[in-house]
């Protein structure tokens, strides 16, 4: 009889250990939530942080506790008024790409900067520029596994490393005739201290009097013969 009770006690103890282990495993798994930024949805660690929509084109997610940052800059239909957003995105992107080296795991490619001690992922989905920064490798992989893009966006996934463009000689051309007088070209205006003439690296003739101007931060503009900016992006 004592042996029977002893056996039942051992079985009960084993069940308690198994249930406790399952409970511990379940409740200690990382918890995630969805965030949506300008048509891009991704899962990040659970927190009370919300997406900050800086402007219609630029959104930021900044979770200092879990050390996760997500930036989305939508250059679709943007104009000169959105230049500061584009510059902010480019500055943050380039800052965290310093010393970045491409990494591959679980079928995903991303970057790691030993300088900043962070993982990063840079890409664009037809004008929707995405930057993910995290100190945790597992959070980066989980984010990449859960990226969803609005079906209306043409997906073009390319992780970028060393995104800055090296300086080359400028081949600037002007299609303005001597009879035309332009008081100030839009593509030469200094905004918030940023002088485009100091950052221009090349121009590409697109025909019909239009040129694509490339800058050393990866930014570009499409301008007409008078310097009027028709569109821009990365």
Sheet holding 229-233, edge to edge: 200-207, 210-215, 220-223, 229-233
Q: Which CATH architecture describes the domain 165-234? A: Beta Barrel (2.40)
> What local confidence, expressed as pLDDT, does residue 171 receive?
38
Element (H, E) at 71: strand 68-74
> What local confidence, expressed as pLDDT, does residue 25 receive?
52
Start-to-end CA span in the chain (Å): 79
Cα gap 137→141, rounded to integer Å: 6
Cα gap 33→47, rounded to integer Å: 8
Cα gap 217→234, rounded to integer Å: 9
Arithmetic mean of pLDDT, 142-147: 94
With a pLDDT cut of 90, the percent of the chain lying above it is: 30
191-232 pLDDT tens trace: 877 788 888 888 877 666 778 888 877 777 888 888 888 777
> What local confidence, expressed as pLDDT, does residue 175 receive?
43
With a pLDDT cut of 70, the percent of the chain lying above it is: 70
Q: Would the pLDDT of 38 be above 70?
A: yes
Q: Would the pLDDT of 44 be above 80?
A: yes
Q: Please, which pLDDT band fits residue 45 given cuts at 50, 70 and 90?
A: very high
Highest mean pLDDT (candidates 100-109, 148-157, 196-205, 221-230): 100-109
Q: Which residue ranges make up each domain of the chain?
A: 32-149, 165-234
**C-alpha triplet 155, 161, 167: angle, nearest 5°:** 110
Q: Would the pLDDT of 156 be above 60?
A: no
170-196 pLDDT tens trace: 334 444 443 444 467 888 888 877 788
Q: Which two tokens stand for residue 181?
A: 């007088």
Q: Would the pLDDT of 129 be above 80?
A: yes
Q: In the 8-state DSSP scheme, what is residue 31? A: P
Sheet holding 32-37, edge to edge: 32-37, 40-45, 148-149
More reliable by pLDDT, 172 or 11: 11
> What local confidence, expressed as pLDDT, does residue 154 receive?
45
């Amino acid at each position: 009889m004592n042996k029977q009770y002893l056996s039942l006690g051992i079985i009960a103890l084993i069940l308690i250990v198994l249930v406790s282990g399952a409970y511990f495993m379940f409740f200690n798994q990382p918890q995630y939530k969805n965030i949506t930024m300008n048509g891009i949805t991704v899962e990040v660690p659970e927190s009370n942080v919300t997406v900050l929509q800086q402007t219609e084109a630029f959104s930021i997610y900044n979770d200092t506790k879990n050390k996760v940052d997500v930036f989305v800059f939508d250059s679709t239909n943007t104009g000169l008024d959105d230049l500061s957003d584009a510059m902010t995105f480019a500055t943050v992107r380039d800052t965290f790409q310093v010393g970045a080296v491409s990494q591959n795991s679980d079928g995903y490619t991303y970057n790691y900067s030993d300088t900043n001690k962070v993982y990063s992922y840079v890409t664009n989905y037809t004008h929707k520029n995405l930057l993910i920064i995290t100190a945790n490798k597992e959070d980066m992989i989980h984010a990449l596994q859960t990226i969803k893009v609005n079906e209306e966006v043409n997906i073009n996934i390319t992780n970028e490393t060393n995104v800055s463009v090296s300086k080359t000689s400028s081949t600037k051309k002007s299609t303005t005739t001597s009879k035309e007088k332009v008081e100030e070209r839009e593509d030469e205006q200094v905004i918030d201290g940023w002088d485009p003439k100091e950052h221009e690296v090349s121009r590409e003739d697109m025909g019909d009097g239009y040129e694509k101007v490339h800058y050393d931060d990866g930014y570009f503009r499409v301008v007409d013969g008078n310097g009027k900016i028709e569109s821009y992006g990365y």
